[in-house]
A and B are shown apart, each in its own frame.
Chain A
Amino acid sequence: MSFLIDCPNCGRRPQPEFAYGGSLGEDREPAMLDALSEDLYFNDNTAGEQLERWFHRFGCERWIVIRRDTRTNAVSGSWEGVDAP
C-alpha cells in the first residue's frame, strides 16, 4: 500500500504516515454472534466506498475521517474528527 491521504491539517501525505483506526459503519443486525462480539471482532469488509478513521501519527497527531474506495484506494474526501461528516 502506498496510496496518498489528504490530511485536512497537513495536506496530501503518503499512507504509511497514518495509522488505521477502523471503518465507520451502521450497526448491523448481528449475523453470527451476539452484538457485543460482532462489534468488537467483526469488520464489514466493504468492497467499495467506506468511511474510515485514520490517525496521522507522523504528522499532526490528530484523528481524521476519510472516504476511501477499498477496491482502488481512491480517497474522495477527508475531515477532521472521528465521526462521519
Chain B
Amino acid sequence: MRLPPRDGEQIDRSRRRTFTFDGRQVDAYAGDTIGSALYADGRRIFSRSFKYHRPRGLTCATGSCANCLMEVDGRPSVRVCTRPVEGGEVVRSQPLTGSLDRDPLRVIDRVGGPFTPAGFYYRMGIRPKAAWPYIERMLRRMTGLGRAGGKDDRRPPTEVEHRQVEVLVVGAGRAGREAAVRHVAEGREVVVVDERAEYAGLQVKGAEVLAPATALGIYEGNLVPVDAGDVLHRIRAERIVVATGTIDQPLLFDGNDLPGVMTPSAVKRLIGLWSVRPGTRAVVLAADDAAQEAADLLREVGAEVAEVVDMTGGARHAVRALAGRRGVVHAIQVDGRRIACDLVVASAGGQPAYSLLAQAGCTIRYDEARGIFVPDRLADGIEAVGSVTGQDASVVAPGTVTDAGKRAFVCSCEDVTVKDLRRAVGEGFDDIEIAKRYTTVTMGPCQGRLCHLHSVRVLARETGVGEASLGTTTARPPWRPTPLGTIGGRRMNPGKRTTLHDHHKRSGAQFVWTGIWRRPDHYGDAAAEIRAVHERVGLMDVGTLGKLLVRGPDALEFLDGVFPNRIATLKVHRVRYGVFNTESGRIVDDGTVVRLAEDEYLVTTSSGGVDQVYEAMLLWSAERGLDVEIVNVSGALAAVALSGPLARDVLRRVTDLDVTNEGLEYLGVRQGTIAGVPALVMRIGFLGELGFEIHFPSIAAEHVWDAIMAAGAEHDIVPLGVEALKALRLEKGHIIVGIDTDSESTMLESGIARMIAWDKGDFVGRDALARMNERGADRQLVGFVAEELPREGTAVIAGKEPVGRVTSARRSAVSGRVIGLAYVPASLAADGAEFEMDLGEGRRGRASVHLAPFYDPDGERMRV
C-alpha cells in the first residue's frame, strides 16, 4: 500500500522502525505514526466500538475521533493515528471479547439494537432490585475502553514545568504561524504549540515550537496546561492566539462508521504525510472543497474515484454504506444505485474548533446560513485567527441524507445514532443538556469534536426549535482526554530536614513524618532512650522548633496582646510557656517566650506551627499599628535538648557558662558558648527531668551535637527520637498541639485555663474565651490510668454513647501502668472518676481520671 516516494512526505525511508501489534511485528519508517504504519500494513479494523462492538477503522487521522484507540506500552486508549513510531513499542488492541477481527459480542449490534437504545439501562434491570448488581457487573464487562493502570505501563512520570510567556499560539497551521511571525516581529516572546506530530521539526524564527503538544484548556488567568507527552507545561500567557482550525464533521448516513469511511483530512494526511494509498476504488461524498481536493489527490496516486456525489446546495440523497464479510465497507448505495468501493470519503464540512475560545470566556453563536457555531465576542487577551473564526467554513444539514437512522452514528465514541436522539426527544429529553446526559452523546473520548454540532442540529430538527435557541453545551477542559498521571505529574513529597538529618541517619535513626518534617522516631530502641532520660542523659534534635525574633519599642505590648498569659512580668533572661489562640479562642499552637533584652524576645513555636504563627503575628502587629519587628529565624538556628539527671554534668564540660542551679535557675536563660559556638541556653523541662534547650547557629549543628555527645559518652548519653519525646512528656501530662488538641480545642478545656490572665487587658481570642468561660467548658482534657492500652482516637463511652476520645496513650516505662490523655465530659473531670473506653470488637476497657502529672507531680526533678 506504500506509494513510491513523494514530495513533502514526512517519512524517512532510510530509517526503519519496527513495533509489535498484538504480538506480530509491524514495519514502519521514521516519521510514521503507529496508525499510519498499521494502515500501510493493510490493517483496516483498529478498534471495536464501546457498546455495539462494531468494527471501527482509521477515520480522521488527526487525533480527533476515538476509533483508533489502542494500548501502547501498557498505557490504554492511546490515539495511534497521531502517536509517532519510536521503535520497539508494544501495541495491543484494546482488550475485548475475542479479537479485533472477530468479536462475538458483535451480536449485540446485530440483534440487540432494538433492545439496547440509548439509556436502556435506566429502564432495564431496575426491578427486581437484587438483580441490578449482576446486570451492572455484566454491562461493565461487556463495555468500556481498555484497562487502566496496567502493570506494564513503562512510561516515566510526567514532569510539570511552570512557564510564563508573552504570547502563546495554539495551532501551527498557516494562520497560527503567521500570527507567531507577526508577534515575533513586534518583539514579543512567543511559544507555538500544535498537537500534530508532523510539526515536531517545525521552525518558526524567533519563536519556540512545542509539538506534538496539546493545549488542554484555557483556565482562569490565561493558564494553559500543555501536554507534551513526558512534560506538562503550565503556561501563563499574556496573550493567547487560538488557531485551532476546523474539524471535519462526519456525514450522517447509515454505515457512516464503517472501517473504510474516512474524512477528507484523513485521505490528505495518509497520502501527503505518510505516502499511503487509502484505497483502490473510492466514492467521495463531497460537501466542501476539502472533499474535492481529496478526490483529486486520490486520482493522482492511482486510486480509482468511482463517483463524486455533490452534497452541497440543498441536495438530498439517500445514502447507505454497506459492509463486506469482514465488516469493512465494500459498497455504497446512493439514491438506489449500488457502487462497489473500498473507500468512502465523506464529511459534512468543517466546524470551527472553538472549544478553547469558549473556555476562555468568548461567546459562541450559531450561524444559520453556514450551519456552524462560530466565535462571536472574544475575551480580553484572546485572539482567534484562521478558520477557527468561521471563515470559509460550513457544514451541510443532517437532512442532506434523507434516510439516516439507526445505523447513522452521530457519536461514534458512545455509539449514539440519529435514531437514539430521536427516541430521546420522543421520551421528553428535548433540552440539549438533558438529552446529552440521557444519551451520553458528546460525552465520549472525542470530547464532542465530531458529535457536538450534529447532536445539536439533530435535536434542533427533532424538537422544532432552532439551533440558535436550543443553544450549545458548555465547552470544558480537557480539550483532549488526558491521563490523570499527566496532570498530577511526578509525585512530590515536600519535606523538611534539620541540619543534623544525615548525622541521625548515620546513627541508625528510623525516621518518621511529623507534619512536613522528617524526624528520627527512634534510634533502634525507644524504651532504652526513655530509660536513659530518667536515669542518665539523652540528647534530642529540636531544630524543627519554630523560632521568631520579636523586637522593637512595642515588642512587650505586642506579645502581651498575643499571649493569654502575662508577659509583662517576664524578666530579662527568663523563659515562659505560651499558647497562641485564634480570635475565636481556639488553640493554634504553643511554644515559649524568652526575654533576651528589654525590647527583644525569642518566641519558639512547635515544629509544624511556625508558618501559621508567623503569618498571624505579622497581621496582628500591623492591625495594631505597633513598632515591632518580627524575623523568622527558624532555619538560621539549630536547637538541641539535653535532658536527664546527668545533663548538667555533660553541659558543664562544653560551656563557659555557670550551669549550676544557682548560676542557671529553672526557667532561666543565658547566652554563652557551647563547644566554642555562641549559643542561647534555656533551662526548661518538657521531658520531666533536668533539661537544657540550646539554640545556636545551624551551620554549627554537627559540631555542637558531636561535642555534647562526646562529653556525655562517660554517662552513656543516647540520642532521643520523637517516640521518647511523646512518652516522656505524657508522663508529665504535657499536651502536644495537634495531637491532644483539635481545631476546636480551647485553653479552657485543655487543662491550662489557669494560665489565662483575665485581668491584663485584651489579647487575641479574649472575647471569645470570656464568652465560653461564662458558659463553662462542656469537655475537659484529663489524664487517665487504665489496665489495657487503648489506641489513640479510641472513643470514651458513657452508657452506649461516645462522649469523648483518647488523644494519647502509652504504657508507662516508670510505673508499668497504662497512662494517657482523653477528652471526657466536664462532669467526669475529677480525680478518680471512672469511665469506659470502646476497645473494639465489643470490648470495653475501664479507666480512671488522674489529674496530676503521672511522674514527679511536684516537678522536683526539673528543679534540681
Contact = CB atoms under 8 A, between A and B. Distances in A.
B611 interface: yes
Contacts of A57: 611, 615
Contact of A63 (B221, B223, B618, B632): B618
Interface string B202-227: 00000000000000000111010000
B622 A4 contact: no
Given A3-B221, A36-B768, A36-B771, A55 B618 contact: yes
Contacts of A61: 614, 618, 632
Contact of A2 (B220, B614, B615, B623): B220
Contacts of A41: 584
B223 A40 contact: no
Contact of A3 (B220, B614, B619, B767): B220
A62 B618 contact: yes
Contacts, number: 43
Interface string A1-33: 111100000000011000101000000000000
A65 to B, nearest CB: 10
A21 B221 contact: no
A40 B622 contact: no
A59 to B, nearest CB: 13
Contacts of B768: 36, 40
Nearest to B236: A14
B583 interface: yes
B220 A63 contact: no
A3 B219 CA distance: 9
Interface string B447-468: 0000000000000000000000
Interface string B626-638: 0000001000000
B615 A19 contact: yes
B90 to A, nearest CB: 37
Contacts of B614: 61
Interface in B513-559: none
Contacts of A2: 219-221, 223
Contacts of A15: 221
B817 to A, nearest CB: 41
Given A36-B768, A36-B771, A40-B584, A55 B619 contact: yes
Contacts of B220: 1-3, 73
B769 to A, nearest CB: 11
A4 B623 CA distance: 25
Contacts of B619: 21, 53, 55, 63, 82
B132 to A, nearest CB: 39
A82 B622 contact: yes
A21 B618 CA distance: 12
A6 to B, nearest CB: 12
A46 B786 CA distance: 53
Contacts of B583: 40
A73 B361 CA distance: 13
B235 to A, nearest CB: 12
Interface in B599-623: 611, 614-615, 618-619, 622-623
A11 B41 CA distance: 56
A15 to B, nearest CB: 7
A41 B223 CA distance: 33
A63 B619 CA distance: 7
B767 to A, nearest CB: 5
Contacts of A4: 221, 236
Contacts of A3: 220-221
B219 A63 contact: no
B584 A82 contact: no
Contacts of A1: 220
B108 to A, nearest CB: 44
Contacts of A40: 583-584, 768
Contacts of B623: 82-83
Contacts of A82: 619, 622-623
Contacts of B584: 40-41
Contacts of A36: 767-768, 771
Contacts of B611: 57
Nearest to A5: B221
Contacts of B223: 2, 14
A62 B583 CA distance: 20
B221, B583, B623 — most chain A CB neighbours (10 Å): B221
A18 to B, nearest CB: 11
Contacts of B236: 4, 14
Contacts of A55: 615, 618-619
A43 B619 CA distance: 19
Interface of A: 1-4, 14-15, 19, 21, 36, 40-41, 53, 55, 57, 61-63, 73, 81-83
Interface of B: 219-221, 223, 236, 583-584, 611, 614-615, 618-619, 622-623, 632, 767-768, 771
19 contacts: A1-B220, A3-B221, A14-B221, A19-B615, A21-B619, A36-B768, A36-B771, A40-B768, A41-B584, A53-B619, A55-B619, A57-B611, A57-B615, A63-B618, A63-B622, A73-B221, A81-B622, A83-B622, A83-B623
10 residue pairs, one from A and one from B, having the closest CB atoms = A82-B622, A40-B584, A3-B221, A4-B221, A2-B220, A2-B223, A3-B220, A2-B221, A2-B219, A55-B615
Given A4-B221, A73-B220, 8 more contacts: A3-B221, A40-B583, A53-B619, A55-B615, A61-B614, A61-B632, A63-B618, A83-B623
